[in-house]
Amino acid sequence: MDDPSSPGGDSTARIVARSSMIDSFRGCGLSGIRIVKEDLRRRITMPKYIRHAMRDSIKRKDPAATATVDCGSNEEPPEAPMVVFVNSRSGGRYGPVLTERLQELMGEEQVFDLSDVKPNEFVEYGLRCLENLASLGNFCAKEIREKIRIVVAGGDGTVGWVLGSLSVLYKEQREPVPPVGIVPLGTGNDLARSFGWGGSFPFAWKSAVKRSLHRASTGLICRLDSWHVVVSMPLGEIVNPPYSLKPTEECTLDQSLPIEGELPEKEHCYEGVFYNYFSIGMDAQVAYGFHHLRNEKPYLAQGPIANKLIYSGYSCTQGWFLTPCISDPSLRGLKNILRMHVKKVNCSDWEQIPVPKSVRAIVALNLHNYGSGRNPWGNLKPGYLEKKGFVEAHADDGLLEIFGLKQGWHASLVMVELISAKHIAQAAAIRLEFRGGEWKDAFMQMDGEPWKQPLNKDFSTFVEIKRVPFQSYMISGE
């Protein structure tokens, strides 16, 4: 795999927000470069015996299913071996026709529908199959394991799912970790935008799929920070948490920051990882309601444009555009329930950061793209950065940009980039403490996956965010 620190890699992974229109045309692959299907097929398709060995290992959930393979069959490995994961539930249900098109362009066994094969199953059985063959002296399998790339056809949540599954390779010391490219099928597609893959499913999709595979086979490798989240709560449990948030027996809150007040006798803990953003407040509440509406009425999910229209209309019904002075506690600012500490750049001590009184949503952002390609942090001038103690933001700088949204009108102006959001801090770690009072619930989300977080009036709920010590690898679509 390309080394991101080499001249062929992009170690800084600069993130530039792009307009949706430009993204759409780039996504269509209108570059004037003619991709010959047979040349592409030779470049990315693995030998048949290896494809079948991987398929059987995954199907039987047994990497030893390779025992019957003739390891002397050392065919030449492809230049850029590739597998594709397709989320058939994303992008207005384009998945089945997209899967069929992909199978025309590469080996059928190299295309996985996520409803049939989970990314963790591919890592555990498919990649281990290659490793087993390589250990038995198969040069072709060894080369494929070292060069293999992955493409994800789905939204940001799907990409995060695959990246999270690949992170196991670090823990098990099974490197190299394959880099990931994207065919954007979701609603926002901010990860795809950030790495040059466009922001929407292209209208000339048949030719665009071919071009996307070519770009994924040749693109430079970029680094991406990922962020570990721990949620510690007194009793109770999160009902229907997102798949990115799992219950855990260990609660690993940083002990260097003492907790004021009494702790409950029993705690429930959850943990997860995000790559783009974590948010709390009204934006997460709107996302939570929208997800439930779409699940209850799936016929509404006819594609990204329909999703955005429904989302915009739904947000107007949730109090986002009403005054925060209304007596209903769900419409008051987060200052009423939240205390925030951060560790700033090159600093090991926690510092308490006041929560602005008017803020009703707080976002901790890793990329410049948020909410379908918007840049709420803004392109800040050097003088302002120095005055605030900030540094220029990158996707691999070990920092999160924390900003606030006041109410719907403020958020709307931020999202059309007429103004910047309320800058709060840049942080290498974040500790959030919630105390319920009149609030029975708070709403949170990670990378577009929202949940309702129960609160307790007697004991605090804590959310702690720290950078994962290893970085993910992304393929640049530029």
Strands (E), 22-107: 82-86
Helix (H, G, I), strand (E, B) or coil at 155: coil
Which domain range does residue 412 map to? 227-472
Summary mean pLDDT of the chain: 80
Q: What is the pLDDT of residues 84-96, one digit of tens each?
A: 999 887 655 666 7
pLDDT of residue 62 exceeding 90, the answer is no
Last residue of a domain, one of 204, 224, 244: 224
Q: What is the pLDDT of residues 316-340, one digit of tens each?
A: 444 444 444 444 444 456 766 788 9
Query: What pLDDT was estimated at residue 52?
Result: 92
Task: Return all residues near 394 (Cβ < 8 A) that are at least 6 apart.
Answer: 12, 13, 14, 15
pLDDT of residue 165 exceeding 90, the answer is yes
Q: Residue 214: which region, alpha, beta or left (left: phi > 0; alpha: psi -120 to 50)?
A: alpha
169 and 251 co-located in one domain: no
Total of domains in the chain: 2
When pLDDT is cut at 50, 70 and 90, the band that residue 447 belongs to is: confident
Query: What pLDDT was estimated at residue 412?
Result: 63
Q: Is residue 15 in a domain?
A: no
255 and 211 co-located in one domain: no
pLDDT of residue 288 exceeding 90, the answer is no
Q: Is residue 8 in a domain?
A: no
The H-or-E segment that residue 339 falls in is strand 338-343
3-state SS string for 57-116? HHHHCCHHHHHHCCCCCCCCCCCCCEEEEECCCCCCCCHHHHHHHHHHHCCHHHEEECCC
Q: Is residue 11 in a domain?
A: no
180 and 78 co-located in one domain: yes
Query: What pLDDT was estimated at residue 1?
Result: 43
